[in-house]
Amino acid sequence: MKVTVVGAGNVGATCADVLATREIANEIVLVDIKEGFAEGKSLDIWQKSPIIGYDSRTVGVTGDYSRTADSEVVVITSGLPRKPGMSRDDLISTNAGIVKTVTEQVVKHSPNAIIIVVSNPLDVMTYQAHLTSGLPREKVFGMAGILDTARYRAFLAEALNVSPKDIQAVLMGGHGDTMVPLPRYTTVGGIPVTELIGKAELDAIVQRTAVGGGELVKLMGTSAWYAPGAAAAQMVEAIVRDQRRVFPVCLELQGEYGINGVYLGAPVILGKNGIEKVIELQLNDEEKALLETSRGHVKEVMDALDTMSKASA
């Protein structure tokens, strides 16, 4: 069992660390273009194994995708992180080129791999990877919903002074300011969250979740990494162990929710084949309107990528 993580920056290294610590794969290959960077990160993780107590071997390589051959799952975290004042959309041109090149190498050496995209702007980078790979949507999708729901659940746990373990939630739509939290599908130990918290406070938490990534950029001067890395690792675990977990992921909608050809977050069953099933919720009119707003925003960014691609062709 081999899993590859492309990009040994903060998110990629955190993902590799969680994969190793939880012994999700026998071998985790970390790839980066910076000489010695992935090698150093993977060696550091491996040297932690006697302390924590795990057997998964981490290996780092500089740009050598032959070492990643026959990976079952590949996580792509490559790209520039956001800086203060920079929106996700500002990253589109540079990161699309990076994701395209990486995806070509991944498919060349691991044609049967399931690809999880973490690079920003997430929705359009998933689109780029899907286009480049030529693989079905069940095998190329993005990590966003798990991270967004984790932030939402963490904020709720703090407000309610309860364990985050007992909070279940679903979010949909694009990754960013137009995400669509669904309080109607949020529960605390099976109790609807609306019975435990007032509307004004819940709305404030929903809004904080929508700009959660930006809050961290302002605080640290760069994008988050602990939660995103762990979220990607959780998706890998669901696939490798065929857990059939219900997670919101970014994928190309093909008629679900009345949307075609746009990459948005939606709940799915995640197992050994990747996306085993897309779950269609019965959204009310308000939720549908929010999803349509999110669809329009993501479609604009997708169109921008298409324009750039035609111009450079």
Tell me whether residue 11 is annotated as binding.
Answer: yes
Tell me whether residue 88 is annotated as binding.
Answer: yes
Q: What six digits make up the tokens of 231?
A: 């979220």
Tell me whether residue 261 is annotated as binding.
Answer: no
Tell me whether residue 120 is annotated as binding.
Answer: yes
Q: Any idea which residue has 């070509």 for tokens?
A: 104
Tell me whether residue 26 is annotated as binding.
Answer: no
Tell me whether residue 295 is annotated as binding.
Answer: no
CA distances from 239 to 113, 245, 265 (A): 11, 9, 18
CA proximity to 74, closest of 44, 29, 38, 41: 29
Residue type at 221?
G
Question: In degrees rounded to 5, what are phi and psi of residue 31?
Answer: -120, 140
Question: In degrees rounded to 5, what are phi and psi of residue 266?
Answer: -155, 150
Helical residues (DSSP H) of 53-141, grouped into ranges: 92-109, 122-133
Contact call for residues 88 and 120 (beta carbons, < 8 A): yes
Tell me whether residue 285 is annotated as binding.
Answer: no
Tell me whether residue 312 is annotated as binding.
Answer: no
CA distances from 109 to 12, 34, 49 (A): 19, 20, 28
Tell me whether residue 161 is annotated as binding.
Answer: no
Bridge partner list, 91: none
CA proximity to 88, closest of 235, 271, 228: 228
What CA–CA distance (Å, rounded) separates 179 from 183?
Answer: 13
Tell me whether residue 67 is annotated as binding.
Answer: no
Tell me whether residue 32 is annotated as binding.
Answer: yes
Where in 153-287 does DSSP place strands (E)? 167-168, 171-172, 180-181, 187-188, 191-192, 245-254, 260-271, 274-278
Catalytic residues: 175
Tell me whether residue 260 is annotated as binding.
Answer: no
Tell me whether residue 71 is annotated as binding.
Answer: no
Tell me whether residue 61 is annotated as binding.
Answer: no
> How does DSSP assign 256-305, residue by residue?
GGG-EEEEEEEEEEEETTEEEEE------HHHHHHHHHHHHHHHHHHHHH
What CA–CA distance (Å, rounded) separates 123 from 107?
Answer: 20
Q: Residues comprising the binding site for substrate?
A: 82, 88, 120, 151
Q: Residues comprising the binding site?
A: 7-12, 32, 82, 88, 95, 118-120, 151
Q: Residues comprising the binding site for NAD(+)?
A: 7-12, 32, 95, 118-120
